[in-house]
Chains A and B, each alone.
Chain A
Amino acid sequence: MRLRLLPAFLLLLATSGHAETSLPGGVQFNGFGSIGLTRSSSRQAAFVRDLGQAKGSRGDWRSETDSLLGLQASWQVNPQLALVAQGISRYRVGNNYNPELMSAFVRYEPDARATLRVGRMPTDFYLFSDSRHIGYSYLTVRPSGDFFGALPFAHFDGTDLQLAHPLGDSLLRGKLYWGYLDEELPLAERRWPLRGSQLSGGNLSLQQGPWTLRLSTTLLHFRHNLPIAEISDNLRQLAPLFPAAGTAAERLEVAGAHSRFHSLGVVYDDGPLQFQAMLSRATHSTSAFQNWQAGYLQVGYRRGTVTPFIGHSWIRSNRRTLESGLPSGVAPAFDLLNAGVASVLADSHSAQQTTTLGLRWDLASQFALKIQYDMIRGKPDSIFPYRDETRAWNGRTQVLSAVLDFIF
Chain B
Amino acid sequence: MRYLRLLPLLLLLGLPAVRAEMVVVVRADSEISALGKTEVTNIFLGRYRQLASGQLAEPIDLPTGSAEHAAFYDTLLNKTSAEIRAYWARLVFTGRVAPPRTVDSSERLLEQLLINPRAIGYIERSKADRRLRVVFEVSSR
Q: Taking beta carbons and an 8 Å cutoff, which residues of A are in contact with B?
A: 19, 30, 32, 70, 72, 74, 76, 82, 84, 86, 103, 105, 107, 111-113, 115, 117, 121-122, 128, 130-131, 133-134, 136-138, 162, 164, 166, 169, 171, 207, 209, 270-272, 302, 305, 362, 365-366, 368, 407
In the complex, are the beta carbons of B80 and A305 less than 8 A apart? Answer: yes
| Other contacts beyond A72-B92, A115-B97: 14, CB < 8 A | A32-B89, A32-B93, A74-B95, A105-B95, A112-B48, A130-B94, A131-B93, A138-B86, A169-B36, A207-B47, A272-B78, A302-B80, A362-B80, A368-B82
Q: Taking beta carbons and an 8 Å cutoff, which residues of B are in contact with A?
A: 36, 38, 42, 47-50, 56, 64-65, 77-80, 82-83, 85-87, 89-90, 92-98
Cα distance A201–B50 in the bound complex, in angstroms: 27
With A169-B38, A305-B80, A368-B82 as given contacts, are A70 and B93 in contact (CB-CB < 8 Å)? yes
Chain A, residue nearest B93 (CB): A134
Q: Could you pull out 5 A-B pairs where Cβ atoms are within 8 angstroms?
A: A32-B89, A74-B98, A112-B49, A131-B94, A169-B36
**Cβ contact of B56, chosen from A76, A86, A112, A122, cutoff 8 A:** A112
With A32-B89, A111-B50, A366-B85 as given contacts, are A82 and B96 in contact (CB-CB < 8 Å)? no
Cα distance A138–B36 in the bound complex, in angstroms: 28
Chain B, residue nearest A131 (CB): B90
In the complex, are the beta carbons of B98 and A302 less than 8 A apart? Answer: no
The number of inter-chain residue pairs (CB within 8 angstroms) is 86
In the complex, are the beta carbons of A166 and B94 less than 8 A apart? Answer: no
Chain B, residue nearest A273 (CB): B78
Chain B, residue nearest A134 (CB): B93
With A271-B78, A271-B79 as given contacts, are A115 and B86 in contact (CB-CB < 8 Å)? no
Cα distance A289–B38 in the bound complex, in angstroms: 45
In the complex, are the beta carbons of A171 and B42 less than 8 A apart? Answer: yes
Which residues on the A side are within 8 Å of B94 (C-beta)? 122, 130-131, 134
Which residues on the A side are within 8 Å of B79 (C-beta)? 271
**Cβ contact of B95, chosen from A107, A137, A171, cutoff 8 A:** A107
Which residues on the A side are within 8 Å of B78 (C-beta)? 270-272
Rounded to whole Å, the gap between the CB of A142 and the closest CB of chain B is 15
Which residues on the B side are within 8 Å of A362 (C-beta)? 80, 82
Most buried by B among A130, A136, A137, A209: A137
Cα distance A130–B50 in the bound complex, in angstroms: 25
Chain A, residue nearest B95 (CB): A84
In the complex, are the beta carbons of B42 and A82 less than 8 A apart? Answer: no
Rounded to whole Å, the gap between the CB of A202 and the closest CB of chain B is 15
With A164-B48, A272-B78, A365-B65 as given contacts, are A137 and B38 in contact (CB-CB < 8 Å)? no
Chain A, residue nearest B140 (CB): A271
Cα distance A3–B49 in the bound complex, in angstroms: 45
Rounded to whole Å, the gap between the CB of A83 and the closest CB of chain B is 10
Chain A, residue nearest B52 (CB): A166
Which residues on the A side are within 8 Å of B64 (C-beta)? 19, 365
In the complex, are the beta carbons of B93 and A72 less than 8 A apart? Answer: yes
Which residues on the A side are within 8 Å of B89 (C-beta)? 32, 134, 136-137, 407
* Complex A-B, nearest 7 residue pairs according to Cβ-Cβ distance, in ascending order: A271-B78, A112-B50, A137-B90, A362-B82, A137-B89, A130-B94, A131-B90
Which residues on the B side are within 8 Å of A76 (C-beta)? 98
Cα distance A278–B70 in the bound complex, in angstroms: 31
Cα distance A74–B96 in the bound complex, in angstroms: 12
Chain A, residue nearest B51 (CB): A112
